[in-house]
Structure 1
Amino acid sequence: MVQKCGYLPLAICLLGGVLREKKSIVEWESVNEHIKAAIYGVEEQIDGVLNLSYESLPYYLKPCFLLMGIFNEDETIDAWDLYNMWIAQGMISYENIGDKEDTLTNMAELYLSELASRSMVQVEFLYDYYVNLEYKGGKLSTLLRESSSHMKIQHLAIDFRSEVEHEPTVACGEDAWEHIRCLRLEQCELDDLPSSMRNLVYMDTLDLTGSANVEVPNVFKEMLRLKHLLLPIHTNENIRNYRLRLDEGVNELETLLFFDSRCHELKRMDRMKNLRHFVARVHDNESLSAIMNGIMNWNKIQECQVIIEGSCDLTSERMLEKALTCPNLYSLHIGSVSVKAIAKCEGDLLRSKLKCLYLLGCAIEDDPMGIHGKLPCLIQLRLYRKSFVGEEMRCPANSFLRLKMLVLSGLPKLREWRVDSGAMPLLSDLTIGECSCLEMVPEGLTVISTLQTLVIEGMPELRERVSPAGQDFHKVSHVPTIRFKY
C-alpha cells in the first residue's frame, strides 16, 4: 500500500488514518483493493488517498470536514472559531452527547481530535482571526437588509476596521436575524448595541473582541442558549454609570472573557457549572473575593485568567494567598503595590495551578523568588516595571522546576542575581531588560542546557559582557540564540 501511495509522506499519513480504524486482515485487504482503484483512477495519488480517507469518515464527521472547505488552502483556522461554526450550523447538537456532563464544545473538541488522528487536519498551537464575512463600503444597515432578504443568517462577522459606514444603532428585529447563532463585531465602533438583541433567542456566541467602550444591553435573560460571551474592554474615562448584569441567562455559559468589575455584575457565579474559559479584570476586593470563591467551584475550567488592578488591597483577608493557591486559577496578573509582602506569604503553595504570573509596579522590597519558585506548575514568570525594587535576587536550588520563560524588565535597583544549581532546569527563554544596575548574568545559567533564547534589552554594559569577547560569554555560550534590542 505504501508503494501504491508513491512513497509520498502525505498520502502515507492519510492512509494511516484510514487503517487506524481497521482491526482485521479482511478490512486491510479491502482497503488495499480500494486504494488501488482510488489511486490508479486519477492522476494524482494524494487525491485518491484523500478521497478514500473522506469516504472512511463516520457520517457525523463528513459535514464538519466539508465545512472547512470555505477556508483557503493552507490557511490557519482558529479551533475555537471552528467549534462555534460547527455548533452554529447544527452539526453538533445535544443529541450527539452521550455523557450529559459534556458540553457541545467538548464534542467539537472530540470531533477535531478524531479528524487530526485520521490525518485529515493538522493541529498547531497558533492563534489567528477568522472573519466569516468581509464587507467594504456602504452602510451597515444596507448590508444587513440585503443579506437577510434572501437568506437566514446563522453566522455573521463584521470587522469594523474595514470601510464600513455605521449608524449609532442597528436594529435586530427582522425575522432573518432571529436565526443568528454567532454574531461577531470585531473592532466595533458603535456606542451601544440595541435592546432588540433580546430577539436573538438562538444565539450561541456574541463576540466583541477588540472593541472598546461598547455598552451591551441587559437582555441575557432572554438569550438562554448563549454559550460564549466575549465582552468589549472599557477604558478608565468611559465607564460612566453603565452596568451590565450577568445574573440571569448566563448559567450555560462556557466562555466569559473580559469581565470588568467596574461595569459588569456577576452575582450567580455558583450556577455557572459549564464555564471553561474565563478572563476578568478586577478593581475591588468584594469582586475579587467573589471571583476567587467562584473559581474554586468551576470543575470544567480550562483557561482562567485574573488581572488584579492597583485599587485592590491584597493584604486584607489573606487575598494574595488565596490568589496564589486558588486551584483553578491558571494565569494571574497583579498591578497592586499591596503585594509587596509576597515574600511573607504562607499557605499550601503546592495546591496552586498557576502557570503564568505577571507582576507590574508592585514595588516588592524583599526577594520574591523563594515564594515564586515553590509554585509547582509555573511556566511563565514576568516581572515588569518596578515590580521588584530590591537589590539582590536569588533562585534557590530545586526551585522553578517547570519554568520555561522568565522576563526581568524595568527593575532599576537590581544589582545582583544568583541562580543556584538545580534551579530552573527547563528554562528555554530568558529576557533581561532595563535593569541598569545589574552587574552580570548569573553563573548558574552555565548549567541550564535547555536555554534556547537570551534577549538583552538596553543595558549596553551587560551586552558587552555577554558578547563573544566579553567576561560573561562562557556563561551563555551554549545558548543558540542571543539577541540584543537597543
Structure 2
Amino acid sequence: MRRVWEEILVNLTSPTAERRNEIKGMMDGEIAKEIYNVLKHIKFLVLLDDIWTTSAWDRLKAAFPEHETDSKILLTTRHKTVALHADKNGLLHEPQCLDDNESWELFEKKANFGNRAMTNFKDNERMKELGQEMLKYCAGLPLAIVVLGGLLSTKYTIDEWEMMRKNVKTYINKGKGGHDEQEYKGVSSVLSLSYDELPRFRIVGSTVTVEDVAYDYLNELVERNMIQVAALGLTGKMKSCRLHDLMRDLSLLKAHEENFLQFIDLRDRDPAVADSLSSAAGTNVGPSKKARRLAIYTDDGFSDLLPFINDGNGSLRYFIFINRDSDEPSKKVLKPLFNHFQLLRVLRLENYTWRDGTSGKLPREIRKLIHLRLLSLRNSKVDKIQSSIRNLRCLQTLDLRKTIDGGKIPNVIWSNVSNLQTLYGIPTKYLDVNDFLQQTNLRKFVLFVDKDLGRINHSSRVVTFNRLRSLALYNREDDANAIDITPVISCYPCVYKLLLDTLITKLPKDYQFSPNLMKLTLEHTCLKDDPMGTLEKLPNLRVLSFFIHGYMGNEMVCSKGDFPRLKSLCFQLLTNLKEWRIEEGALTSLRRLQINGCFQLKTLPDGLRYLTALKEVKIKMMPWEFQERIEGGKDFYKVQHVPSLVFLNQLDTDSSTGSGDESLSE
C-alpha cells in the first residue's frame, strides 16, 4: 500500500528531490490525504492495474475521493467480486475473448505469417490451416495467441508447423493447466509449450559475462512474447519488464515441479483467490525439504520467520526487511537468521534499527553468508560494519546510503571483496586509496565526497574504471568547499550517467566528459557561467537536468546546432534565471521540457516554436502570470504545436517569493 501510494503521489505532482524525501518521511495517512486533495482539484485518470483482492482495494481506497471530483479511477482485476466490491454502481466492463477473425488477425501479425515468402500456394494454404487449428486451443485469449505466434515466428517449414501442431495436441490431452476453469486449460498448455520449447542454456565464456548471457536470455523471452518490455533505458536496452499473471502462474508451477522454488505467502488474501494462488504457485503450509530456493512473503516481518528458522530448511535465498513500523526486530532474531539461512544471495535490511532506538553493530554471524551477492543497509542505524564482512567474497552490490554517518567501515572490505559492481553511499574518508583502486569491476558508484576526495583522485597511482557506467557524487555539508571534479571524472571515462550534487569550482571542458555520456544531472553545483556552451557539444547527451542551485546565473542560451540528440530538458528551482533564449536550429530532438519553480523567468523563449519534435511541456510552481501568458495569451504561439501542455501547482505573486499559499491549477 505504502509503495503504491508513494508512486502515485510522485507521478501526480512531479516533486523535487527534497519533496521526495519529505514524502518518504510522511505517515501513511498523510500521503493518502495528499493524493485525495490533488485528485479533488485536478482532473486525473488513475489506472490501478491487476487488483487481486477486496482487501487490497480496501487498503488503497482511502486515497481516492468518491464524490466531488472530476478524476476517474480505472481498476482492472481478474475477479468480478473485487470490481463489484470497489464500486457497486460503477461501470463494469468484462472483456470478451477474441472471435475467430480477431484471433487470426492477431496471430497473423505475431507469427509474421503475412510476410513469409511463400512460393507454393498449397504450402501457404496448409500453413494457414495448421495455424487456424492451433488457434482453437488458445480459446480466444490474446496472451495465448501472442505466445503461440511468437513460437511459430521462427519456424519456416510445413514440417515444423506440423510438429508444433502435434505438440499442442499432446499438451492439451495431458490436461495441464494451473486453473480449474476449463477455458484456461488450453491456454496454460500453450504457455507450457512455450516453456518447454526454450533452447538449452549457453555456457559463460572468458569473454562473456553472466550479465551478457542473462540479457540475451531476456531478449529471447521478449521475442517469444513470454515477457513484456515495460521501459527502455537511455542506451535502448531494457530497463524493466513485466510478466503476465498466467505466465507467472506457469513459472511458479514449473519452479515447484522441479523443486527449484517454493513460494509461501503468509499475507492475508481473500478466500476466493487464495486457493487458486496456492495451486498455481505450489504453496503449502510448511516449507518443502526438497526445494532449492524458498521465498516467503509476510506482513509481520521477523516474527513469521521464526518457525522456518526452527524447521531446519535453510534454502531461503532472498530476504527483504523494509521497516515502516515501530515494532522493530532485535539482534536476537538476526543472529539465528544469519546462522540458519547461509545460502542467502540477497539481504536487504532497510530502515532498520534496534529496539532501544540506538545504533549498533551487525551481528558478526554475517560472516557466514558467504554466498551473498547483494547487501543493503540503506537508512539503517549501524555505527560499525564488522570486519567479518571480509568473508563476503561473492558480494556484488553494497548499499550503505544513510547508514554509517559517523561510523566506520573496515579496510578489509576493499581488499577481500573484489567483485563489487555496484557500490552506494561510501564516504570518501573511509576509502583506503590503494585497496579501493582494486575495485575496477565497478559499474555503478555513488560516493559521498569531502575534503578527502583529492587524496583519492590525485593519487600517484592513476587507475581508470573503464567498466563504470553510472557515477553520482554527493556533498550536502553546510561548510562544503568547492571541489575540482575534472580529475574525478577523468578516472571514469566510459560513464553513461553522471550526477553531480556538490559545489564545484568549474565545469569541465566538453572533451573531458565521457563521450558516452547520455544523462547529466547538476544539483547544488552553483555554476556561475552559462554551462550550455560546453554541454551543447556532448555528442550523445539525451537527458539534461538542472536542479536546485545547479546554475546560479541570470541568462542561458541554446545556440543553433547545439544538443543534436537531447530529448529531455529540466529546469528546477533555478531561482536566479531571468532569461532563456533558444536560437532556430537548436534542440532539434527535444521531446520533453519541464520548468519548475524558476520564479524570475517571466516568459518562455521564442525559439520554442521551432522545436517540432516537442511532445510535452510541463510547467510547475510558477507564478500565475507565467501560465496566463501561455494559455491563450501572448506566448501561446510558442507552444501551440505541442500536444501535451501541463500546469501544476501554480503560485500567486507572493508565493513565488516564499510568502504565499500554494494553489492548484488544472
Q: TM-score, normalised by structure 2?
A: 0.59
Asked whether 1:296 is paired with 2:425, we answer no
Distance 1:327 1:112 in 2: 28
Cα deviation, residue 432, structure 1: 1.4
Residue aligned with 1:3, SS: helix
Q: Partner residue of 1:394?
A: 557
- Deviation sequence 1:44-68 (CA, Å, 0-9, x none): 44333212212212355xxxxxxxx
Quote the offset at 1:29 in angstroms.
Answer: 2.0
Matched position secondary structure for 1:438: coil
Q: Which residue of 2 aligns with 1:65?
A: none
Partner residue in 1 for 2:600: 437
Q: CA RMSD in A?
A: 3.5
Pair 322,204 (structure 1): closer, same or farther in 2 beyond 3 Å:
closer
1:451 correspondence with 2:584 = no
Residue of structure 2 in register with 1:259 after alignment: 426
Residue of structure 2 aligned with 1:332, choices 492, 495, 498: 498
* 1:36, distance to aligned residue in structure 2 (A): 4.5
> Matched residues in 2 for 1:401 and 1:480: separation?
22
2:365 matches 1:196 = yes
Deviation at 1:396, TM superposition (A): 0.9
Residues 212 and 232 of structure 1 are in contact (CA less than 8 Å); yes or no, is this contact kept in structure 2?
A: no
Matches within 5 A, 1:312-323: 313-315=482-484, 319-320=485-486, 323=489
Give the distance between the partners of 1:424 and 1:205, measured in 2 at CA.
40
Q: Which residue of 1 aligns with 2:546?
A: 383
C-alpha displacement at 1:465, in angstroms? 0.8
Q: Which moved more, 1:114-123 or 1:329-338?
A: 329-338
Q: Does the Cα contact within 8 Å between 2:338 and 2:366 map onto a contact in 1?
A: no
**Unaligned ranges ≥5, structure 1:** 61-95
For 2:557 and 2:619, locate their aligned partners in 1 and report how far apart those are by CA, in whole Å.
Answer: 19
Q: 1:30 maps to what in 2?
A: 163
Assess, with a 3 A threshold, how the Cα gap between structure 1 residues 277 and 250 changes in structure 2: closer, same or farther. same
Task: Give the residue type in structure 2 aligned to 1:200.
Answer: L
Post-superposition shift, 1:308? 5.4
Name the aligned partner's letter for residue 186 of structure 1. E
Secondary structure at the counterpart of residue 184 of structure 1:
strand
Contact map agreement 2:495 2:514 (CA 8 A) in 1? no
Aligned ranges 1:36-435 → 2 under 5 Å: 36-38=169-171, 43-44=183-184, 45-58=186-199, 60=201, 97-125=203-231, 133-137=296-300, 140=302, 143-144=305-306, 146-152=308-314, 153-161=316-324, 164-168=327-331, 170-171=334-335, 175-190=339-354, 191=359, 192-211=361-380, 213=382, 215-234=384-403, 239-245=405-411, 246-265=413-432, 267-284=434-451, 285-286=453-454, 289=457, 296-299=464-467, 301-307=468-474, 311=480, 313-315=482-484, 319-320=485-486, 323=489, 326-339=492-505, 341-342=506-507, 345-346=508-509, 348-349=511-512, 351-435=514-598
Q: Give distance in 1, aligned partners of 2:490 and 2:573.
A: 23
Q: CA, structure 1 residues 395+105, in 2 after alignment: closer, same or farther (shift >3 Å)?
A: same
- CA distance in structure 2 between the aligned counterparts of 1:97 and 1:307, rounded to whole angstroms: 40
**CA deviation profile, 1:148-190 (whole Å, cap 9, x unmatched):** 5331133222232256531256325875232323222232224
For 1:478 and 1:164, the matched residues in 2 are separated by 55
Native 8 Å contact 1:213 1:233 kept in 2: no
Larger Rg: 2
C-alpha distance 55-433 of structure 1, shift in aligned 2 (>3 A): closer
**Alignment partners' CA distance in 2, 1:23 and 1:148:** 56
Partner-residue secondary structure (3-state), 2:212: helix
Cα shift readout 1:84-125 (whole Å, capped 9, x = no counterpart):
xxxxxxxxxxxx633124343333333322222222111322
Q: CA contact under 8 A between 1:392 and 1:414: conserved in structure 2?
A: yes
Cα distance in 2 for residues equivalent to 1:288 and 1:404: 35
The CA distance in 2 between the partners of 1:402 and 1:324, in whole Å, is 23
CA distance in 2, matches of 1:387, 1:242: 31
Provide the rounded CA distance (Å) in 1 between the counterparts of 2:322 and 2:573: 36
Q: 2:227 is paired with a residue of what secondary structure?
A: coil
Q: For 1:464 and 1:409, how far apart are their aligned partners in 2?
A: 20
Q: Which amino acid aligns with 1:240?
A: G
| Aligned equivalent of 2:145, options 2, 9, 12 | 12
SS of corresponding position for 1:268: helix
**Partner in structure 2 of residue 79 of structure 1:** none
Which residue number in structure 2 is paired with residue 81 of structure 1?
none
Match for 2:544: what amino acid? Answer: L
Sort the Cα spacing of 1:290 and 1:224 in 2 relative to 1 into closer, same or farther, 3 A: farther
CA distance in 2, matches of 1:128, 1:230: 23
Distance 1:322 1:163, change over 3 A: closer
Unaligned runs of 5+ in 2: 1-129, 176-181, 232-238, 243-264, 266-294, 650-666
Is the 2:465–2:493 Cα contact (8 Å) retained in structure 1? no
8 Å Cα contact 2:464/2:492 also seen in 1: yes
**TM-score normalized with structure 1 length:** 0.78
Using a 3 Å threshold, how does the CA distance of structure 1 residues 450 and 209 change in structure 2: closer, same or farther?
Answer: farther
**8 Å Cα contact 1:465/1:472 also seen in 2:** yes
| 182 and 433 in structure 1: CA distance in 2 versus 1, 3 angstrom threshold | closer
Q: Which moved more, 1:14-23 or 1:405-414?
A: 14-23
Measure how far apart 1:378 and its partner are. Answer: 1.8
State the Cα distance separating 1:8 from its structure 2 match. Answer: 5.1
Cα-to-partner distance string for 1:351-385 (whole Å, 9 max, x where unaligned): 43222222223332221111111122222222223
Q: Match of 2:212, as an amino acid?
A: N
Query: What letter matches 1:18 in structure 2?
Result: L
Aligned to 1:482: 645
- Residue 463 of structure 1, CA deviation: 0.9
CA 1:432 to 1:260, structure 2 compared with 1: closer, same or farther past 3 Å?
same
Q: Secondary structure at the match of 2:504?
A: helix
Q: Secondary structure at the match of 1:297?
A: coil
Question: Cα gap change, 1:452/1:212 in structure 2, threshold over 3 Å: closer, same or farther?
Answer: farther
